Structure 1
Amino acid sequence: MIITKVKVIHFVPVTCNMVKGLMPWKVSNARRLADPTQKTDCGYKSGARLCISMDSWWAAFNYHLSAMPFLAAIDSGIMGISPENVTFLPPSKDQMNFCYTISSCRSSFPEAMKKWNEFYQHIQSPSSGFEDLLKYLWAAHASSLEMAHKNFDNRLKCYSKQEADFANNWALFVDYLAPPLFPTTLTRTHEFQKGLPTRILVSGDETHFIGDFTNFQNIVLFALSFLHKVHKYTVPVGIPVEAPHIRVPCVGVGPQPQVVGGQNKQGLKVGGASMSRDSWKEGRG
C-alpha cells in the first residue's frame, strides 16, 4: 500500500467509537486468519503467527470490512488524502474478488462503496446523532458482508464442519444485530467478545462441550447454533437459507490439528444449572 499524506482526524473517544468496537476480536484472534488448508505454517505457532492466509474465509471478510471502508473514507474526503495516492497490492490469487483502489472498488462493489461513503458523509455532518450514524454504519457493514458472502463462501469447504458452521452462525447473528442498530462501541462489545472462540474449531470439537473453552464461550457457541436452527425452521418461504455444510475436498488440506485440552467433562453451565454432555444429548434427541 502506498500513502503519501495523512490528515489527522479527531474522532470520538476510542471507548465510544462505533467502528473500533467491531475490531478487537478480529485483531486479537489472529489464529482464525491462519491457512485452513494447512499447506503452509501461515498463522500457526510453528510459523508466522501474524501471517494472514490468502485462503482464509475470515481474512477475506475482514478485507471487505477494513480495506474497503478505508478506501471509502478517503473517497469521502474525510481523511484529506488524494485518492490517487493510495493503492493496495493484490494477492497472488482471487484478484478479481478484491479491489485495490478507490476507482476499482467503485467499479467492482458500487453499492457497498456508496453506503460507506454515505456513512462518512454523515460523520462530517454536525446534525448527525449517534443513532443516525449507527443506521448508516450497519447499512454499509451489511452491504460489505453481502459481497463477501458471494465471493468467498466457497472457502468454507477448507474448514472442518464445526468451523464452517460457526462461521455461518456468526454471520447470521451479525445480520440480526443490524436491524436493532446494536451500538458497536468498544465498551459495549468487549464483554461479549470474551465469549467468542479463540481458535479455529476442528473436527473432534464437540460443539458446546469444548474442553479448552470457557463456559461462556461454550454457551455462546450453543446460542449461535440455536439461533441458526430457529432461523432455518421459521424463516418465511422464499428467503434463502444456507445449504448444509458438505465436506468437499479442499486442495492441499492436511490432517486436522488435535483438539487442545480434550472434552469438557464437567459439562456446560446454563442459567446456574449444570448440564452434562450426555444429558444435553438426551435433551436434544
Structure 2
Amino acid sequence: MARFLPVRKASAIVLLAALLTCFSDVNRQEKAGESVSYPPLWDNVPDSLDGFVIRNKTVINPWNYLDRMGMYKMLLNVTAKYMNHFGPSNTGNVLWGLPLQHGWQFKTGRLADPSDMSSCGQQTGDSLCISTTSWWSCMNYYLATIPFLGAVEAGFFDEWPFEIEILPPEDHKDDFCYNTADCHILIPDTMAKWTTFFQFLKKTKEFSQNKLSPTIPAEEDNVWQYMWTAHVSSIKAALQKFSERLTYISTPEAQFGISWGNAVDFIAATHFPTNFNQTNIFQVYLPQRMLLATDKAPSILDLSKEENWALVALDILYEGNKMTAGRLLNFWKRSMCSEKGREEGRHLLENAVSNPDLILPGIQKIILEFIKNHNCVPTDA
C-alpha cells in the first residue's frame, strides 16, 4: 500500500485535472449566458398515463422516442411534490438527467439503427423509432423502463385503474424485461435499487413537512445517494448485457460510450446534482454527432474545442482507471465517502474555473483527506 500511494496520487492529480479542465469551460458558458433547453419534442410527449390509454388498456411502447420520453415525463410529474424544496418549478428534480440525456441521444442520432439494416431512427424512415441494435438505446432502456417500473412497484401509480403494458421490441426480446416480476428475474439487483430509491423518495415529503427550513441538506444528499446508486447499477448491468452492440458503431464512438460509462462512476461518487440546470450546462460538452472512424480528438474539426477536450479527458480517465485495475475509482470513491469530501468533489466539478490555480491544490487536499480518513466508509454510489 505504501509503495502504491505515490503513484496513485500522481495519477489522480493528472487524470482528474484533465477532466476538471473540461468541466471548467462549461461554467464559462453558463456565466456567458448559455441557454438551457428541454429535450426535443418535449411538448409532444405525454405527461400522464391518460396519454397511453387504448381501449381501457395502458400501452407504452419504449421503442418509440415519444413513449420512452413519456415515462420520464411521468416520473418527473409524480415525484415533483417530493422534491419541491430542491428547486423552483420542479427544476431541482433529481431525475432530470435521464430525459435530458435521452433527448441528447435522440438529437445526435444515437438511438437510430447503426447497422444500416433498417431505417429505424433515420430521417428517411421512422425518425421516432428506437433501434434494438443501437448500443445507446439499449443502455438507455435500463435507465428508462427499469426506473419507471421501480416507481410502479413503489406505488406511485397505484390509483391508476388500468393495467400498464410495456411492449417488447420485434427482436432481441430476451435482452429486456417488461414488468416488475420479470425485471426482478432478469436484473434483480438493479430493479431492487430503483424500487428502493422511489420508496425512499416518498419519505422526503414527511421530512420537508416536519422541518422549518425549506432546504434539508442531509436528506437531500440521501436522495441523491439512492438515485446514483440505482443509476450506476443500471449502467453496470447494461454494460455487461450489451457489449456486442458496440461492434455496430465506430471505434471512436464505442470508446466514447465506454469512457462515458466509466466517468459516471466518478461523478456519481460526489452525489452530483443532475437537476435541470446542471445537466443542461454539462451536456453541451458531449459530442453533438456520432463519432466517425476517422475522428481523433482533440483534432475533430467540426466539433467544438470543448467537445474535443471532453473526449480526451474521458479517455484519459478511463485509461487511468484501467491501468490501475480500478484502483483509481476505488480511491476516488473513498475520498468521496464523507459529506466534506463530496462537497469538495462537487466544488471542484462546479467551480474550478473560477480560480484555475486552485485545481491541483484542491485535488491534493482531497487526496490528503482520504489518506488521513481511514474510518470513512464509501457509499454505494
Amino acid of the structure 1 residue aligned with 2:125: G
**SS of equivalent residue, structure 2 residue 167:** coil
User: Is 1:116 aligned with 2:194?
Assistant: yes
Q: CA RMSD in A?
A: 2.4
TM alignment of 1:197-212, pairs within 5 A: 197-212=287-302
Please say if residues 29 and 199 of structure 1, whose CA atoms lie closer than 8 Å, have aligned partners that are also in contact: no
- CA deviation vs aligned residue, 1:5-41 (integer Å, no higher than 9, x gap): x996361333201101232132133111111111222
Q: Which residue of 2 aligns with 1:218?
A: 308
Percentage identity across paired residues of the two chains: 33
Q: Which residue of 1 aligns with 2:98?
A: 22
Please say if residues 298 and 308 of structure 2, whose CA atoms lie closer than 8 Å, have aligned partners that are also in contact: yes
TM alignment of 1:1-285, pairs within 5 A: 2-3=57-58, 9=78, 11=80, 12=84, 13-30=89-106, 31-81=109-159, 85-125=163-203, 126-127=206-207, 129-235=219-325
- Once the two structures are TM-superposed, the CA of residue 146 in structure 1 deviates from its matched residue by 1.7
Please say if residues 298 and 312 of structure 2, whose CA atoms lie closer than 8 Å, have aligned partners that are also in contact: yes
- Once the two structures are TM-superposed, the CA of residue 43 in structure 1 deviates from its matched residue by 2.2
**SS of equivalent residue, structure 1 residue 27:** helix
- CA deviation vs aligned residue, 1:156-203 (integer Å, no higher than 9, x gap): 011111111001100000111121111111111211100101121111
- CA deviation vs aligned residue, 1:246-274 (integer Å, no higher than 9, x gap): xxxxxxxxxxxxxxxxxxxxxxxxx9xxx
Amino acid of the structure 2 residue aligned with 1:62: N
Amino acid of the structure 2 residue aligned with 1:93: D
Give the Cα–Cα distance (whole angstroms) in 2 for the partners of residues 131 and 197 of structure 1.
30
Give the Cα–Cα distance (whole angstroms) in 2 for the partners of residues 20 and 218 of structure 1.
25
- Once the two structures are TM-superposed, the CA of residue 109 in structure 1 deviates from its matched residue by 1.7
**SS of equivalent residue, structure 1 residue 177:** helix
Please say if residues 75 and 83 of structure 1, whose CA atoms lie closer than 8 Å, have aligned partners that are also in contact: no
Give the Cα–Cα distance (whole angstroms) in 2 for the partners of residues 64 and 114 of structure 1.
13
Please say if residues 61 and 148 of structure 1, whose CA atoms lie closer than 8 Å, have aligned partners that are also in contact: yes
- Once the two structures are TM-superposed, the CA of residue 71 in structure 1 deviates from its matched residue by 0.8
Q: Give the 3 Å change call, closer, same or farther, for CA 79–157 of structure 1 in structure 2.
A: same
Amino acid of the structure 2 residue aligned with 1:197: P
Give the Cα–Cα distance (whole angstroms) in 2 for the partners of residues 221 and 32 of structure 1.
16
Give the Cα–Cα distance (whole angstroms) in 1 for the partners of residues 161 and 150 of structure 2.
10
The 4+ residue runs of structure 1 with deviation greater than 6 A are none
What residue ranges of structure 2 are gaps of 5+ in the alignment?
1-51, 60-73, 208-217, 330-355, 357-381
Give the Cα–Cα distance (whole angstroms) in 2 for the partners of residues 20 and 80 of structure 1.
23
Please state which structure has a larger fraction of its residues in helix: 2
Q: Give the 3 Å change call, closer, same or farther, for CA 10–192 of structure 1 in structure 2.
A: closer
Give the Cα–Cα distance (whole angstroms) in 2 for the partners of residues 9 and 236 of structure 1.
37
Give the Cα–Cα distance (whole angstroms) in 1 for the partners of residues 242 and 115 of structure 2.
15
Give the Cα–Cα distance (whole angstroms) in 1 for the partners of residues 295 and 121 of structure 2.
20
- CA deviation vs aligned residue, 1:224-265 (integer Å, no higher than 9, x gap): 11111211222358x9xxxxxxxxxxxxxxxxxxxxxxxxxx
Normalised by the size of structure 1, how large is the TM-score? 0.77
Give the Cα–Cα distance (whole angstroms) in 2 for the partners of residues 50 and 202 of structure 1.
23
Please say if residues 98 and 143 of structure 2, whose CA atoms lie closer than 8 Å, have aligned partners that are also in contact: no
Please say if residues 60 and 152 of structure 1, whose CA atoms lie closer than 8 Å, have aligned partners that are also in contact: yes
What residue ranges of structure 1 are gaps of 5+ in the alignment?
240-270, 272-285
Give the Cα–Cα distance (whole angstroms) in 1 for the partners of residues 273 and 152 of structure 2.
24
Question: Which has the larger displacement, 9-18 or 152-161?
Answer: 9-18
- Once the two structures are TM-superposed, the CA of residue 64 in structure 1 deviates from its matched residue by 0.5
Q: Give the 3 Å change call, closer, same or farther, for CA 136–83 of structure 1 in structure 2.
A: farther
- CA deviation vs aligned residue, 1:123-142 (integer Å, no higher than 9, x gap): 11023821010110011111
